[in-house]
């Protein structure tokens, strides 16, 4: 598969997105925030926050679509005007309220019990940490050595759980996510958001395996001329090739994400209201 193009070689081709009706949606970790050693370490710089604020005043929607709990995402971003979609879209904010799909409710006690069982079974596994988000559970092994052994241990442990067969397990960067099997992923969530808001031009930025479905969905919708959309992979030394192959463009790091968003902010006079 052909690798994505380096974004800063193609900026002239993206000027059409510098208009009021365009939409910018981004992941958080590894995209607008550096990935910390621990899950709780994620922060965005004041410069990045200010840039998001400026963007939200210039474009129709600016938002985040993240695997984090939606309250966690709000605490990191700290901006009211931003669109928030948490838990890979299992949570959305509509009319000021957090809403979830009604099908998810029955999985809340299942996820809770799996969290408790995994804590017990993996308590002696050095470096394994948990992020319990009520609607989903993320098991991190980025501090384990070797990581491949830790990943196998976690997967094997999940497979021994009776309730493990009732959920889906999705791989991310040095983590495994346990979610309700209700058909949601970043691609379907993005498509729903586009449809609900009659969006015609959209940019999506992400950095991990779970962003691939969003990249592919934008390509699919663009090929059928339903929208004009581009996807941007934020790269690192640990980024799987498939992530960059699935996107239209790539940048090298979070710093280059900032530079691109700043470029979006610097709109020509003819694009202003």
pLDDT at residue 155 greater than cutoff 70: yes
d(CA 58, CA 175): 35
pLDDT in tens, 128-154: 999 998 989 999 998 899 999 999 999
d(CA 26, CA 172): 16
Dihedral sign of CA atoms 246, 216, 10, 33 in order: negative
pLDDT in tens, 105-129: 899 999 999 999 999 999 999 999 9
How far are the Cα atoms of 33, 108, 132 from residue 230, in angstroms, in the given order? 21, 34, 32
Q: Retrieve residue 164's tokens.
A: 């493990």
Q: Lowest-confidence range among 62-66, 86-90, 113-117, 183-187?
A: 183-187
Nearest Cα to Cα of residue 192 among 180, 182, 207: 182
Band (202; pLDDT cuts 50, 70, 90): very high
How far are the Cα atoms of 123, 161, 241 from residue 128, in angstroms, in the given order? 8, 18, 25
The residues, ordered by sequence, that sit 6+ positions from 105 with a Cβ below 8 Å of its Cβ are none
Give me the residues paired with residue 179 across strands: 168
Give me the residues paired with residue 23 across strands: 61, 202
Task: Give Rg (Cα) of the chain.
Answer: 19
Band (169; pLDDT cuts 50, 70, 90): very high
Other beta carbons within 10 Å of 183:
9
Average pLDDT, stretch 62-67? 94
Band (270; pLDDT cuts 50, 70, 90): very low
d(CA 211, CA 185): 9
Write b or e for each residue in 110-122: b if 16 or more Cβ atoms lie within 10 A of its Cβ, otherwise e. Answer: bbeebbebbeebb
* pTM confidence score: 0.84
**Mind listing the domains of the chain with CATH numbers?**
5-100+184-271 (3.40.50.1000), 104-179 (3.30.70.1020)
Average pLDDT of the chain to the nearest whole number:
90
Residue recorded with tokens 């940490």: 129
DSSP secondary structure letters along 95-147: TTEEEE-GGGGGGHHHHHHHHHHHHHHTTTSTT-EEEE-SS-EEEE-TT-SSH
């Amino acid at each position: 598969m052909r690798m994505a193009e380096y974004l800063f070689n193609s900026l002239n081709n993206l000027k059409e997105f510098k208009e009021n009706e365009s939409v910018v949606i981004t992941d958080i970790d590894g995209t607008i925030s550096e990935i910390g050693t621990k899950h709780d370490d994620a922060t965005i710089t004041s410069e990045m926050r200010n840039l998001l604020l400026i963007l939200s005043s210039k474009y129709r929607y600016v938002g985040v679509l993240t695997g984090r709990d939606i309250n966690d995402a709000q605490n990191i971003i700290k901006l009211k005007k931003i669109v928030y979609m948490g838990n890979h879209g299992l949570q959305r904010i509509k009319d000021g309220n957090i809403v979830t799909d009604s099908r998810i409710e029955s999985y809340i006690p299942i996820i809770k019990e799996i969290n408790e069982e995994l804590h017990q079974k993996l308590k002696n596994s050095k470096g394994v940490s948990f992020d319990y988000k009520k609607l989903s559970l993320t098991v991190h092994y980025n501090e384990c050595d070797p990581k491949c052994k830790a990943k196998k241990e976690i997967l094997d442990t999940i497979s021994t759980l009776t309730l493990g067969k009732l959920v889906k397990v999705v791989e991310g960067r040095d983590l495994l996510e346990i979610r309700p099997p209700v058909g949601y992923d970043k691609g379907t969530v993005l498509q729903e958001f586009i449809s609900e808001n009659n969006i015609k031009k959209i940019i999506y930025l992400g950095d991990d395996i779970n962003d691939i479905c969003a990249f592919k969905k934008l390509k699919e919708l663009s090929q059928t001329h339903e929208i004009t959309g581009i996807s941007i992979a934020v790269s690192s030394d640990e980024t799987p090739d498939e992530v960059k192959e699935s996107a239209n463009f790539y940048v090298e790091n979070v710093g280059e994400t900032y530079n691109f968003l700043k470029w979006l902010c610097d709109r020509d006079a003819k694009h202003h209201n």
